[in-house]
Structure formats: structure tokens, C-alpha cells
Amino acid sequence: MSADLDRIPLVDLAAAHAEVAAEVEAGWARVLAACAFVGGPDVAEFEREFAAFTGVAHCVAVANGTDAIELALRALGLPAGGGVVMPANTFTATAEAVVRAGGRPVFADVDDEFLLLDPQRAAEASAGPVGAAALVPVHLNGQLAPMGALEALARARGAFLVEDAAQAQGATQDGRGPGSWGPNGIAGTSFYPGKNLGAYGDAGAVVTGDDAHDLVLRELRDHGSSRKYVHTRLGFNSRLDTVQAVVLRAKLRRLADWNVARRAAAARYDSLLANLDGVRLPRTAPGNEHVWHLYAVRVPERDKVLALLNEAGVGAGVHYPVPVHLQPAFRELGHAKGDFPVAERAAEEILTLPLFPQLTAGQQERVAEVLAGALSRL
């Protein structure tokens, strides 16, 4: 067996780095020579370029994706103790950011087909005793939540709408990207290394079409200041390092092509796995342009299948094995198993297969072969 088939990673960061290495090295040399490590032209240019890529007026670069959601909520004026409706099948950072911003997570179940926030369940959650000062739909695995219905719900409830777009860089719905929905138009994203657009460390951004929110966000990320030693509000230290901006600019130039490659790989998996009994394939919701951050299938006896794939050198994974409402950190919210059955069932079945722009057809054929063998042993 060839070396590239012997060990197939879930994400191949080295392959992505090889494509940008020379450009990053030259950019870092420029930053080091100038000793301009915080802010500066590279950060400003990245903000301009990513805003244009996303299709909104403004991008405010911050230290990480969790900060991005928190600062977005703070910029909108989330009231203390305000309920924030979100799906139960998200990463803990979504709920963590809400708590840090002074809000209270209000979980809702997802639809069974796409595993995205269900507008009807969100409406029911927002009508509960905590209410809904904000909605935070999560754009899962590379496609947008049903934003038309959620935008209408936010307007009906008088709630803010803050999108968690960490897994949807380049994704659109009906031609619109993150940060263009709702009464306020704002989204947070993460550039954690494994994302479609990944830094070489932690990084994130808030995108918005609103000029006033842009100004507040810029103050919040920099100690509440827009002018040196003048602090108009209580802020934070959440600035993007210049060296990360260099990496992100180099990768952003390739992101559209990388997303095309991800779509091709997803289509290839669809074909390879179409007739495999016991596998439930992911689907794209109507109106969505998917960017396939993750290719997550659903299988029986997931943990056994995962172990067999890993033993055979296939770097499959799980996103996420424990729904956030069942995490010990949120025990005080009083939830129990059975509260959100779709999210809980999916957490037991989800299996994430290797997917990255440089993934080869041969590697995918090997993944499909190993997966078929694993299922036959159940």
C-alpha cells in the first residue's frame, strides 16, 4: 500500500501549508523586519479582503472565534440574563460565549435531515420562561442554518440574530453569506487551524454590514478604545496578531478554489458510499451553497466503527460526541438526557470522514473500502 493510503488524516494541515509556505515566509520576513506585530497594514488588508469575500461591508479581526461571538453579542447590547436560543448540537464555545457576554443559553433541537437549528423548535424555546433576547444559529459542517425562517423569528420576537459561522467560510444561502441576515446583520467566525480558512494558531473575526456595530466592535476588541489612551467603554484585549493576518491573507487567496475541491470530494464520497448499507449520508439543504468543512455520515455502533477505521489508518473523528446541554459545565441549566432527542441521537451516530482540499480520489476510495469493511463486522 502506498504511503498516502497507509495513513489518511482527518485534516492535512501540512498539505495546505505547502501551498502557501513561500508566501507566508515572505510575509513573515516583512513583519519581522518592520517589528509590526499587532495591527498594521496586513490586519487591515485582511479585514478588507475577508469582508469582500463574505459579501458584507465590514470585518473586525479578533483573537479567536469564541471572542467573536461574545463581542458580537456585547456590541448588540445583550441584556444581563437575556436568553439566547441556540442548537443543542454545537461546540461548547457557542454557549460559553453567551455566558461570558452575560446571557443565558436556551437550547433547542435540530431537524433530523440536516441537523441544523429547527425554526419550530427555536420558536418554542424562545417562547419559554427565559425568552429570547437573541438567536444564535450555528452553520454546521459547512452550510447555513435555515436563515429565512430564523430571520423572521428574530424579527417577530424582537431578538438579535448572531450567526455562528465558524464552519461556513464561503458558504451562502440564496446568494447571501453570513453577516447579512436578521435585523442587525452580524456573524462570528473562527480561523482555528482546521477550519476551511485556518490560521497557524487561534484567530477569529466578526463580519457585519452595519457601520455602527463595526465601530463598537473595533473598540471592544482593543480595550474599549478607538484612539490611543482614550477608552470610551470597557473593552477586551482581543486583537489579531499580524503574523496570523499574513497566513490568513495567503490562504484566503486560495479559499474559493479549496472550497471547490471540498465540494468535489464530498460529491465523490456521495458516489462511493451511495450503496453502502447502514450509512446515512449528509445532504445539502435547499438554497445552500455548501463548503463542506466536514463530511459527517451517520452509522450504527459509531464508536466501534470509529475504532476500526482508526486501527486501519483512517483518521475519522466525531463532532460532537456529547451535546452541549449535557456537558457538566452547563449542569446548572437543568437539562437531562432526552430533552433534545434529535441532537442526542445524532451525537451517538455521527462519524466524520477525512476531508480536505488536497484529498485524493485514491484516499477516498480507501476510506470507503475501510468503512465498508468496518460495517460488515458489526
What are the tens digits of pLDDT across the range 299-325? 999 999 999 999 999 999 999 999 999
| Spatial contact of 58 and 185, defined as CB atoms under 8 Å apart | no
Three-state DSSP state, 226:
strand
Residues 318 and 172 in one domain: no
At residue 152, what is the residue type? A
In a domain, 168, yes or no: yes
> Which run of H or E residues covers position 330?
none
**Which of 367, 370, 371 shows the shortest CA–CA distance to 356?**
367
What CATH number does the domain containing 43 carry?
3.40.640.10
How confident is the model over 328-373, as pLDDT tens digits?
Answer: 999 999 999 999 999 999 999 999 999 999 999 999 999 999 999 9
pLDDT at residue 183, rounded to an integer: 84
Q: What percent of the chain has pLDDT over 90?
A: 96
Q: What is the mean pLDDT of the chain?
A: 97
- pLDDT one-digit tens code per residue, 125-140: 999 999 999 999 999 9
Cis? peptide before 269, omega within 30° of 0: no
What is the pTM for the complete model shown? Answer: 0.97
pLDDT score of 40: 87
Any domain includes 9: no
Which of residues 191, 214, 248 is at a domain's end?
Answer: 248
186 lies in the same domain as 270: no
Domain of residue 127: give its range. 15-248
Q: Helix (H, G, I), strand (E, B), or coil: what is residue 37?
A: coil
User: Please, which pLDDT band fits residue 4 given cuts at 50, 70 and 90?
Assistant: confident
Residues 45 and 188 grouped into a single domain: yes
198-216 tens-digit pLDDT: 999 999 999 999 999 999 9
Q: How would you classify residue 296: left for phi > 0, otherwise alpha for psi between -120 and 50, otherwise beta? A: beta
Task: Please indicate, yes or no, whether residues 227 and 366 belong to a single structural domain of this protein.
Answer: no
Q: Which residues contact 149 (CB under 8 A, 6 or more apart)?
A: 119
127 grid coordinates: 417562547
Residue 7 lies in a domain: no
Question: Which single residue is written with the C-alpha cell 477586551?
Answer: 236
Give yes or no: residues 165 and 260 share one domain. no
Give the span between the Cα atoms of 63 and 66, in whole angstroms: 9
pLDDT tier for residue 240 given thresholds of 50, 70 and 90: very high
The type of residue at 93 is A
What average pLDDT does this structure show over 99-108? 98
Closest CA relative to residue 285, chosen from 155, 110, 34, 54 = 110
Give me the number of domains the chain comprises. 2
Does 283 share its domain with 335? Answer: yes
At which of 215, 248, 281 does a domain end? 248
| Pair 117, 32 in one domain | yes
Q: Do 99 and 207 share a domain, yes or no?
A: yes
Say if residue 6 is exposed, middle or buried (CB neighbours under 10 Å; 0-12, 13-18, 19+).
Answer: exposed
Q: Say if residue 225 is in the same domain as residue 286.
A: no
Q: Is residue 356 part of a domain?
A: yes
Tell me if 4 is assigned to some domain: no
- Alpha helices (runs of H) in 101-158, residue ranges in sequence order: 119-126, 147-157
What whole-number distance in Å separates Cα of residue 350 and Cα of residue 352?
7
pLDDT band at 3 (very low <50, low <70, confident <90, very high): low
1 lies in some domain: no
Residue 181 lies in a domain: yes
- Going by pLDDT thresholds of 50, 70 and 90, the confidence category of residue 1 is low
Q: 321-339: per-residue pLDDT in tens?
A: 999 999 999 999 999 999 9
Do 263 and 221 belong together in one domain?
no
Asked if 145 and 269 sit in the same domain, the reply is: no
Q: Last residue of some domain: 248, 275, 300?
A: 248
Q: Is residue 2 assigned to a domain? A: no
For residue 274, give the CATH number of its domain.
Answer: 3.90.1150.10
Answer yes or no: do 29 and 108 share one domain.
Answer: yes
Instruction: Provide, rounded to the nearest whole percent, the portion of the chain with pLDDT above 70.
Output: 99
